[in-house]
Amino acid sequence: MNRLHRERRATILKMLVEGSSLRSISRVTGAAVNTIIKLQADAGRACMAFHDEAVRNVPSKRIQVDEAWSFVYTKAKNVATADAAPADHAGDTWAWTALDANTKLIVSWHVGPRDAESAYVFMDDLAERLLLRVQLTADGLGVYVGAVEDVFGADMDFGQLVKVYSQPGESEQRRYSPAYCKAAHRVPVTGEPNADFISTSYVERQNLNMRMSLRRFTRLTNAFSKRLTNHVHALALYFVWHNFCRRHRTLRTTPAQAAGLADDWRDADWIVDLIDARAPKPGPRGPYRKRAKAADSD
C-alpha cells in the first residue's frame, strides 16, 4: 500500500489546523483531495482515542462552556430540498466545548444538536474528566440547568452569563452584523459561584480561534463539511493540536503542559506517530484472481 512520506503528512496536518482548505492543501502539497480526507480521518480517529485516554483527572478550578454553530452539507432550512443529502446527518450542528479558564485546555467537547440530550452527554463526559469541584460558567441556554443538576447535583458551583441583545434597526445589516449586547447579567444557579468569575470570555475567544483555524467553520464562504464524520474528525484533530501542540502566547507553553498532562510540547510529527501507532497493520496480500479466458469466436 502506497503511503505519503512522513514529512508530507506532517505538512498536511499542520495546514489542516491552520485554516487551509482541502483544495488549497492539494495544490500546495500535490496530494489528492481524497488522500487528504483519508489522512484527516485517520488523524481524527487517533486524536479522539488519545484525547479520551490522556485528558483525565484534570485539576481544573474554573470551567467555561459554550457552543459554536456550523452545518453539515447544507443549512437546516435547505435540508428538505437538498439533493443527495448524507444519511447520517445534514443541517445545523453545534460544537460544544469546555475550556479550563486558567490553562486554556479543552477538557471536553461534543458534536450534536443544541438540545437537552446533547447538553447531558456533554456534561456527563466533562464530569468524568475533572479531578476537583469546579466553578462552571455557561451562557443563558436553558438546557444547561437540567444537565448540570442531573450530572453534578449539588457538587458544583454553577453560574450563567445571560446576555441581553437589542433588536436591530431597519438600517442595520441584519445578515452580517451581530446584534448589539445591551447588558450581561451574572446569575448564580447552583452552589456558591464567585460572581467575578462568571464569564464566558475565554471560551468565546476559543470559538473564534476554532473558526479561524478550521476552514469548514469559516462564515460566509463555500467551505463546509460535506459529511458529519469528516466534521468530527476535523474537530478531534484540532482539539489535540490545540491542547498538546500549539503554544499559548500568554502561558508561553501548551495548555496540556500548563494543566500537568504533558512534560513537553508536541508537533505534527508526533500526531503522525499517533496515526501509525493506532492504524491497523496491513495483512498479507491475497493471490491475484486469474482472468477467465474469452471463448474463441468462430
How far is the C-alpha of 277 from the C-alpha of 46, rounded, in Å? 9
The one-letter amino acid code at 178 reads P
Which pLDDT score, from 0 to 100, does residue 209 have? 93
Specify the pTM.
0.88
Mean pLDDT by 10 residues, the chain (298 residues): 84 96 95 95 97 96 96 88 81 95 97 96 97 95 96 94 78 62 90 95 95 89 88 97 93 94 94 88 58 49
Secondary structure of 142-186 in HEC code, one letter for each residue: CHHHHHHHHHHCCCCEEEEEEEEECCCCCCCCCCCCCCCEEEEEE
The tens digit of pLDDT for each residue in 230-273 reads 999 999 999 999 999 999 988 899 999 999 999 999 999 999 99
What residues contact 152, with CB distance under 8 A and at least 6 apart? Answer: 123, 127, 136, 158, 190
User: What 3-state DSSP class applies to 188?
Assistant: strand
| Domain boundaries, given as residue ranges, for the chain | 6-79+86-278
First vs last C-alpha separation in the chain: 43
What is the DSSP secondary structure assignment for residue 130, as one 8-state letter? B
Which pLDDT score, from 0 to 100, does residue 298 have? 41
Are 152 and 145 contacting, i.e. CB atoms less than 8 angstroms apart? no
Which pLDDT score, from 0 to 100, does residue 176 have? 59
Which pLDDT score, from 0 to 100, does residue 218 have? 86
User: What 3-state DSSP class applies to 138?
Assistant: strand
Distance (Å) of CA 58 to CA 77, 103, 107, 132: 40, 10, 8, 8
What residues contact 180, with CB distance under 8 A and at least 6 apart? Answer: 165, 166, 168
φ, ψ for residue 51 (rounded to 5)?
-60, -40
The tens digit of pLDDT for each residue in 106-115 reads 999 999 999 9
The one-letter amino acid code at 70 reads S
Fold classification of 6-79+86-278 is Nucleotidyltransferase; domain 5 (3.30.420)
